[in-house]
C-alpha cells in the first residue's frame, strides 16, 4: 500500500497525541496533531485528510461535534473515535452518525494500526471503483470508428446521447460507411453493455430461414428441425439486436417484428408458448424506407416504431479530412498483422486517397490499404501498390493533361465505378446509349476492374 495518506490526530492528552504521532509516522503516514476540536476544525478547513483519529471527550468541541461538522463538508473522510470504556454507548452513537469505528483506552497500538490500515484500504478501493464508474460514462468507441471531422464529432455526440436511453435507433448510410461500428458504439456505451449485441443480416436469408433465425423454432416445426433452437430476439435478452438491411424483409416478417417490438414477446416457429425477451433494437439501412412506405412495400407502423432516433453516417467523400487518420490506422493494423515493415504512405498515394471519392467508403479504403501492404516491396505505400482500378484513376490532369477528352475519360470511369460497371445504369446517368458508352470505353481504353 502507498503509505502517503494524511492522518490528523485530535486528543487533549499530550502523551496520547505524541504516542500516536510517533506510531503512525514510523509506519510512513503523513501525520499532524492538535489538542482540541476547534483546532482540528481549523486544520480541516485548510487541509485535506484521509483519516481522523479523534478523542470522544474533549473540552469545547467534542469528538461527536467534530464528526458532525466534518461530515457536513466531506462524507468520505474516515473517522475513528478514541473513547474510554465507560463512553462506549456514545461511541456507538458516533458509528450511527458515520464514524468508521472506535477504539477504547488504553490503546493497543497493533490493533489500532491494523484498523487504520484496513480503513484506508477500503477507502482506496472505493475511490478506484468511483474512478471506474466515471470512466465508463465517457464514450467508448470501437477501434476503427475514427474521425475528427465535424460530421464524426456530431455522430459521437449522438451516440453518447442515445446510448443512455433504451430508444430504438435507425442508422442510415451507404454501404461501407461503418453503420455496424456505430451500432456497437451505442451498445457498449449503454447499460446493456454486459449483455450481447446480436447481429442479423436480413437481406442474406430467405423468409422461412429468416423467421427461424429471428424467433427460433421448436423441434419438428419443419423438415430438418431436429432440435429446438433459440432465435436472435431470445438470445438478445438483456442486450441489443442489430438488424441490418431491414428493408429486405417480407410483409409477414415485418408484422412479426412489429409485434415483438411492441410487446417484447414472440412465439418460436411451430410453438405456442409466448417467449419474453428484454431487448433493444438498432437497425441499419442504406435504403430510403420512406419511399418504400409510400409504395406500400414497408409497413408504416413498423417504420415509425423503428425511426425513433436516427443517425446518418456520412460517406467518406463528405469527410475527407478523416481519410489520412483512417489510412494510417489501417496501415498500422495490417503491417503489424502481416509483420511487414510498411510504416508510411507516399505523398502521391495520400493525395490520391484524399481526392478519390471512395464509392465503397471506409471498407474500400481498408481493402486498398490491406492489398498495398500485401504487395508492397518498400517501407511505404506507393500509387503502384494500389488495386489496379484505383491506381488507374489517378486523374489525367494530375499528369498535366487538361484536355476535354481527359476530363470525359475520368468522368466515365467515375460513373462506371460508382455503379459497379452496370452498363445500362451508367449509360442512363451519362445520358448516352449503351453502344456509345461501349465505344467510349474502347476509345479511352478504360479497364474493367477484376
CA distances from 59 to 80, 89, 97, 99, 299 (A): 18, 19, 21, 20, 79
Q: pLDDT of 286-336, one tens digit each?
A: 878 899 999 999 999 999 999 999 999 999 999 999 999 999 999 999 999
Q: Is 288 helix (H, G, I), strand (E, B) or coil?
A: coil
Q: What is the pLDDT of residue 261?
A: 95
Q: What is the pLDDT of residue 131?
A: 67
Q: What is the pLDDT of residue 95?
A: 86
Q: Are 140 and 188 in contact (CB under 8 A)?
A: yes
Q: Is 243 helix (H, G, I), strand (E, B) or coil?
A: strand
d(CA 322, CA 318): 9
Domains and CATH numbers, the chain: 6-135 (3.40.50.2300), 150-312 (3.40.50.300), 322-443 (1.10.8.60)
CA distances from 191 to 35, 164, 166, 194 (A): 50, 7, 9, 8
**pLDDT per residue as tens, the chain (450 positions):** 455 789 999 999 999 999 999 999 998 899 999 999 999 999 998 888 999 999 988 888 888 899 989 988 888 889 999 887 656 777 788 888 889 998 888 888 888 999 999 999 888 888 877 666 555 445 667 666 889 999 999 999 999 999 989 999 999 999 899 999 999 999 999 999 999 999 999 988 888 899 999 999 988 878 878 888 899 999 999 999 999 988 889 999 999 999 999 999 999 999 899 999 999 999 999 878 899 999 999 999 999 999 999 999 999 999 999 999 999 999 999 999 999 999 999 998 899 899 898 988 999 999 999 999 998 888 999 888 887 556 555 544 444 455 667 778 888 888 888 788 888 888 888 888 888 888 888 888 888 775
Q: Are 163 and 190 in contact (CB under 8 A)?
A: yes
Q: Which pTM was predicted? A: 0.59
Q: pLDDT of 91-120, one tens digit each?
A: 788 888 889 998 888 888 888 999 999 999
Q: What is the pLDDT of residue 432?
A: 87
Query: How long, in residues, is the chain?
Result: 450
Q: Are 352 and 383 in contact (CB under 8 A)?
A: yes
Amino acid at each position: 500500500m502507498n503509505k502517503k495518506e494524511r492522518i490528523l490526530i485530535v486528543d487533549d492528552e499530550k502523551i496520547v497525541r505524541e504516542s500516536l504521532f510517533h506510531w503512525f509516522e514510523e509506519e510512513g503516514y503523513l501525520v499532524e496533531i492538535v489538542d482540541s476540536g476547534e483546532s482540528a476544525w481549523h486544520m480541516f478547513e485548510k487541509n485535506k485528510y484521509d483519516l481522523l483519529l479523534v478523542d470522544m471527550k474533549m473540552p469545547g468541541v467534542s469528538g461527536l461535534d467534530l464528526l458532525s461538522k466534518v461530515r457536513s463538508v466531506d462524507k468520505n473522510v474516515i473517522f475513528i473515535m478514541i473513547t474510554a470504556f465507560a463512553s462506549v454507548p456514545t461511541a456507538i452513537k458516533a458509528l450511527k452518525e458515520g464514524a468508521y469505528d472506535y477504539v477504547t483506552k488504553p490503546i493497543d497500538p497493533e490493533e489500532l494500526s491494523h484498523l487504520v490500515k484496513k480503513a484506508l484500504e477500503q477507502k482506496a478501493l472505493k475511490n478506484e471503483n468511483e474512478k471506474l464508474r466515471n470512466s465508463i460514462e465517457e464514450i467508448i468507441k470501437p477501434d476503427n470508428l475514427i474521425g475528427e471531422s465535424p460530421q464524426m464529432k456530431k455522430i459521437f455526440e449522438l451516440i453518447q446521447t442515445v446510448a443512455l436511453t433504451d430508444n430504438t435507433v435507425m442508422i442510415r448510410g451507404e454501404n461501407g460507411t461503418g453503420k455496424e461500428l456505430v451500432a456497437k458504439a451505442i451498445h457498449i456505451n449503454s447499460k446493456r453493455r454486459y449483455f450481447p449485441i446480436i447481429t442479423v443480416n436480413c437481406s442474406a436469408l430467405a423468409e422461412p430461414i429468416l423467421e427461424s433465425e429471428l424467433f427460433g423454432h421448436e423441434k419438428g416445426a419443419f423438415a430438418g428441425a431436429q432440435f429446438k433452437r433459440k432465435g436472435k430476439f431470445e438470445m438478445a435478452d438483456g442486450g441489443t439486436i442489430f438488424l441490418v438491411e431491414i428493408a429486405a424483409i417480407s410483409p409477414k416478417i415485418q408484422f412479426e417484428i412489429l409485434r415483438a417490438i411492441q410487446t417484447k414477446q414472440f412465439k418460436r416457429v411451430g410453438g405456442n408458448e409466448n417467449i419474453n425477451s428484454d431487448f433493444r433494437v438498432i437497425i441499419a439501412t442504406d435504403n430510403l424506407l420512406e419511399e418504400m412506405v409510400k409504395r406500400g412495400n414497408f409497413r408504416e407502423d413498423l417504420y415509425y416504431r423503428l425511426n425513433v432516433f436516427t443517425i446518418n453516417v456520412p460517406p467518406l467523400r463528405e469527410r475527407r479530412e478523416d481519410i489520412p487518420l483512417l489510412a494510417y490506422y489501417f496501415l498500422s493494423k495490417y503491417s503489424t498483422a502481416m509483420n511487414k515493415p510498411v510504416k508510411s504512405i507516399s505523398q502521391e498515394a495520400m493525395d490520391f486517397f484524399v481526392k478519390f471519392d471512395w464509392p465503397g467508403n471506409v471498407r474500400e479504403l481498408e481493402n486498398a490499404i490491406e492489398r498495398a501492404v500485401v504487395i508492397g516491396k518498400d517501407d511505404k505505400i506507393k500509387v503502384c501498390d494500389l488495386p489496379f482500378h484505383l491506381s488507374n484513376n489517378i486523374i489525367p490532369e494530375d499528369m498535366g493533361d487538361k484536355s476535354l477528352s481527359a476530363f470525359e475519360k475520368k468522368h466515365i470511369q467515375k460513373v462506371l465505378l460508382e455503379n459497379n460497371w452496370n452498363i445500362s445504369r451508367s449509360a442512363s446517368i451519362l445520358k448516352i446509349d449503351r453502344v456509345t458508352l461501349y465505344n467510349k470505353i474502347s476509345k479511352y481504353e478504360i479497364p474493367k476492374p477484376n
